Amino acid sequence: MAIEIESSELRRITNDFSDAQKVGSGGYGDVYKAVYNGEAIAVKLLHATKGIDDKQFIKELRNHMKVQHPNIVRLVGYCNEETKKYIELPDGTSVFGRHIYKVLCFEYMVGRSLDKRLSGISLGDEWCTHYQIIKGTCEGLCYLHNGCESRILHLDLKPANVLLDKSMKPKIADFGLSRIYTASRSHTKVDSVSGTTKYMAPELIRGSMMSDKTDVYGLGVTIIEVIRGPGGFEIYHDSGDTNFVEDVCAYWRKRDSRTNLYQVETCTKIAVRCLNHDRRKRPTIKEIVENLNGIETQGLSKDLHALTVNSCLPIPDKISTAISGRGALDVVIVYAFDCTDSTPAWYTVDNGIFWLVQEKLTNLHDSCMGYIYVMSTPNTYTSDMKVVDSAETKQTGYTGFAWRRMTCSKNMASGLAEAHKMISNRGHHNGIILFFSDGLINNGDFFDGT
């Protein structure tokens, strides 16, 4: 929970907002790096202008305090305080007057802002990093639009307002700040605060009513720049929809042979739809996230196109509620973890795909103990926790569900990483690994079930 921090304390930890601790400056204020209660934080001192709306500031502050999502920058503290102090005038004289501190303090993001990465520090050549940023940004925006008590519009979504942590996870920042400054400003003034009109939807520039589709437009431009670089929007503008999609796919085909071109094509088409000048024809962020969630399953299905279904095998329509705790489901639940920090997460895989893989397993060995491993990215591995025991054979079908969770050891993670590289080098972004006994896999010790 964010706490109120006195202005005197903020001046202390920022050395009176010294230039030595300033790490950024934008249309809304200056940002200083500081340490508070042992945690590195970013202190955003909002510009003091007569145009600032105090009631709107309180409203947006409350919105920030309610928001909790992995892809939204976490608010640590705030200050909304008026003090009296000597203020130095341009002519060198000083007067005793009031000074208003409006400050927002956030978790410090060591990966810097996305625009800095795009223009200077490279995001790297691996498509999976770019896709992680695209999907995480979309999930953060979806939360703002659909996951809160009331819909929150960002109204200034662009790479400068997407921050990255040490693992390149994206987190949206500065949502709602434009409304603090716009109450007493014309739309021309809003442009100067936002910094550029490139990310602004046409209806926002015209002064029309704002909506969730306004954010979707800014998201579209951001996705294009993640996919094609900081000059991507200009390339799109010059080439048109169809040619641009083909250009992006060709660009990534040359850039990284391991790239999942299906993901590239899907993300590019989503971005193009977001840029429709008719906001009614733009997708909602919920539709976008659903589209992205379907990429992994569809991509896996393509990789397994050579497998055939044994019609005598039952395909259950319900999985034990003990697996997910959310009631009956018609999908197979799979467990995912990141090999860097072992943070758990839940994903779903289409039922039919699971049974295709399961049949492949029993065709290879009538009776064995093992697990099926489904790769998603080089850093994140998704595994079903289905134990294959001797009682479940291809003759009798799978009548029981012996599910259990298992811990990922360092050896296992490094072995899977190595195995994934080998599978990716063969042209399969998604692969399947079957391993036996205790489930451990070490470098170079794996069975390629693709």
Q: pLDDT tens digits for 93-111?
A: 877 777 788 899 999 999 9
**Amino acid letter for position 267:** C
The confidence score (pLDDT) of residue 234 equals 93
Q: Assess whether 115 carries a catalytic annotation.
A: no
Contacts of 359 (CB under 8 A, 6+ apart): 307, 309, 310, 313, 394
The SS3 assignment for 317 reads coil
d(CA 20, CA 161): 22
Q: Please check whether residue 113 is in contact with residue 163, taking contact to mean a CB–CB distance below 8 angstroms.
A: yes
Q: How confident is the model at residue 84 (pLDDT cuts 50, 70, 90)?
A: confident
**Amino acid letter for position 168:** M
Average pLDDT rounded to a whole number, residues 17-26: 91
- Packed helices 241-255 and 212-228: angle between N→C axes, nearest 10 degrees: 40
Give the DSSP H or E segment for 80. strand 75-88
Which CATH code of 1.10.10.10, 1.10.510.10, 3.40.640.10, 1.10.357.10 fits the domain covering 112-303? 1.10.510.10
The confidence score (pLDDT) of residue 176 equals 74
Residue boundaries of the structural domains of the chain: 1-108, 112-303, 321-448
Q: Which of 138, 6, 116 is nearest to 72 (CA)?
A: 138
Entry pTM: 0.64
348 or 68, greater pLDDT:
68
65 or 310, greater pLDDT:
65
Q: Which of 30, 115, 125, 156 is catalytic?
A: 156
**CATH no. for 1-108:** 3.30.200.20
Backbone angles phi, psi at 251, to 5 degrees: -60, -45
Q: Quote the mean pLDDT of the chain.
A: 70
Q: How confident is the model at residue 88 (pLDDT cuts 50, 70, 90)?
A: confident
The confidence score (pLDDT) of residue 331 equals 26
The confidence score (pLDDT) of residue 49 equals 58
**Amino acid letter for position 330:** D
Residue 44 counted as an annotated binding residue: yes
pLDDT at residue 46 is higher than 70: yes
The confidence score (pLDDT) of residue 438 equals 34
Q: For the ranges 121-130, 154-163, 260-269, which has the lowest average pLDDT?
A: 121-130
Contacts of 10 (CB under 8 A, 6+ apart): 17, 34, 43, 45, 79, 101, 103, 105
Q: Which of 148, 118, 151, 155 is nearest to 133 (CA)?
A: 118
Contacts of 306 (CB under 8 A, 6+ apart): none
Average pLDDT rounded to a whole number, residues 225-248: 92
Largest distance between two CA atoms of the chain? 93
Average pLDDT rounded to a whole number, residues 254-266: 86
Q: pLDDT tens digits for 136-167?
A: 999 999 999 999 888 899 989 999 999 999 98
Strand 170-172 versus strand 29-36 pairing type:
unpaired
Is the Cα torsion angle 22, 43, 50, 155 positive or negative in sign? positive
The confidence score (pLDDT) of residue 298 equals 56
* Percentage of residues in the chain having pLDDT higher than 70: 59
pLDDT at residue 41 is higher than 50: yes
